[in-house]
Every structure is written in structure tokens, then in C-alpha cells.
Amino acid sequence: MTSAIPQGASRDIAAGIAVSLILFALAVNFPVFGFILALFIPLPVLFYRVKWGRRAGTWIFFVTAVGIVAALGRVSLDALFYLELLVLGFSLGETFFMNLSLERTILYAVAAVLGTAGGAGLLYSILTQTGIGTLVSDYILQSLKLTLVLYEKMGVSQDAIQWISNSLEQIHYVLVRILPSLVVSATLFAAWANLLMARSALLSKGLFFPDFGPLNLWKVPEILVWAAIGCGIFLLFPSKAVKVIGLNGLIVLMLIYFLEGLGIISFFFEKKRFPQFLRVCLYLFIFVQQILCLLVAGLGFFDTWIDFRKIGGRPGKNGN
């Protein structure tokens, strides 16, 4: 192992593998906070890929992947979810050295995740001789049933559980049809979150991080406004298929504008010198309040015309 990696990197690689597996174990065993904990899984691969190079990142990726599959006992859609988080971390590390704009860095990493996930899903479908649509539908239904069991253990009122149980078929119907946008949005958010975390971690250690300029000055490309308007118009069509396309598009675009809205809020936090603790509390409050999430997305959307930060065109390197 030591002959295949940079000198002195063995301890860091072992630490990266250990941290990744610990995060995976926590995500699996604490399902309520599992998604938040899972967001950190790409970070060790990304950090040590940048610090020690491609070979080190590859070792962390493959050893962690083997550990995840071994812990779950088989290759499954659950395993694929965690493996794709490792792909995200490695892909971001690769794009950091390609001198790309911020948008292309995120886009290429997300494309790598979606491409490998699609290929792996197709292979799994062939091996199990089950259609992808059936696999996804069954997986969502099973997840909904497990969620009901979890709610019961958490002490959620019987009335609420009964209402969800009675609505299970309708919820399943909707989730299956908006799954593409949920997958894309989750991958985008994970990529953005890990980029922010990597920026702080790498710069604090004096390591390389691409010069994207101030991230809280980032603006969504103006052309996406027309895409959002088009998706909204699709919702007015009588065809269910067209409505589903419009809804999927709007979900992804809302996430993109939400990220810009967070940048606007971060800009004013920095400008007004809000204490760090207060910033964290306010961010957490935004994430747990759905109505605030919508307001933040609206803030990003209307920034196209209002320009809340008064920055005009895009500042920074490569148009960021």
C-alpha cells in the first residue's frame, strides 16, 4: 500500500477511511438525522484527494466502498446511495484541478454521480432481472412503510399516522413521478454543501482550493429564469405527463434559487458582521421551516431583477 501512495500519506488515508465509515454508520443508525450526517461522507475523499493526490483519494474511495457493501451485507439501492456520495467527493476533487468555473465544477461532479448511478442502477436491474421502474417503485414503497414505523416509535400521534397510512398510495404515486428532480436536487445540494465545507477545511490547512471568488456573490445564470417560467407554464397544461415535467423542473430550479438566496443572506450576515453562533442558529432555523425555505428561494429568484447585493454582473474568476 505504501508503495502506491505518496510518502507520509498512509496515516491520513487510514483516517479518511475511518471517518467515512463512521459517518456511514451514524447515518444508518440515526435515520432521523441520517441525511445530514450522510452529507459529510464525500468530504474525507475530497479533502485527501486534494491533499495527497488521486491515488490517495482512490484508496479511500475503494476501501470505504468495500466496507459499506460489507456492512450492508449486499449490493442494494441503499448501498448505491452511499457509494454515490463517495463518487461525489472524488469527482469534486478531480474537478478542482481542471480550472473550471464554479458552475461547471458543480455540474461535472453532479453529472459524474448521476451517470454512474444510472449505469449501476441499470446493471443492478439486469442482474436482478427486474425493471428499473419496478425497483424504484418498490424501494419508495418500502421506504414509506419504514417511515411509518419510525413515526410510531417517535411517538407521532395515531391520527397523523393513520392519515399518512390512508394517503400512502397517493404519496407513493407522487414520489415516483418527482423522483428524478429529488435525486438531482439532493445531488446538487450535497455537491454545494461539500464544496463549502471543503473550502473551509482546505484553506484552514493552507491547501489548494480553486479561486471561485466570494461564493456569497454567486448569481444564477439569468437564462434559467425563462426555464422556471416555462416549467410554471407546463403546470397549466391538461396533460399529466407535461405537468410532471414542469413540476420536476421547478423542484430543481427552486433548489438552485434557494442556494442563491442563501448566498444573499450570507452576504448580508457578513456585511452586518453577525456573530458566527447567531448565523448558525439562523441557518438552522431556515432549514427546519419550509415556508422560510420557499422565501429564501424567492429571494434568489427575484435577485435576477432586484440585485439585492448591488453587484451587477457576476464578479470573480471565470465569471463567478
pLDDT band at 3 (very low <50, low <70, confident <90, very high): very low
- Tell me which of 158 and 22 has the higher pLDDT: 22
pTM: 0.90
Place of cell 430550479: 253
Domain boundaries, the chain: 1-208, 211-320
pLDDT tens figures, 104-151: 999 999 999 999 999 998 988 888 888 888 888 998 888 888 888 887
The three grid cell numbers given for residue 292, joined into one nine-digit string: 422560510
Alpha helix (H) ranges present in the chain?
10-29, 34-38, 42-52, 54-72, 77-95, 102-128, 132-154, 158-166, 168-204, 224-234, 240-271, 276-288, 290-306
pLDDT tens figures, 199-221: 999 999 999 999 999 999 999 99
**CATH fold of the domain at 1-208:** Arp2/3 complex 21 kDa subunit ARPC3 (1.10.1760)
Section 257-279 average pLDDT: 93
Q: Is 211 helix (H, G, I), strand (E, B) or coil?
A: coil
CA atoms of 121 and 123, how far apart (whole Å): 5
Q: Is the pLDDT reported for residue 5 higher than 80?
A: no
CA atoms of 96 and 294, how far apart (whole Å): 31
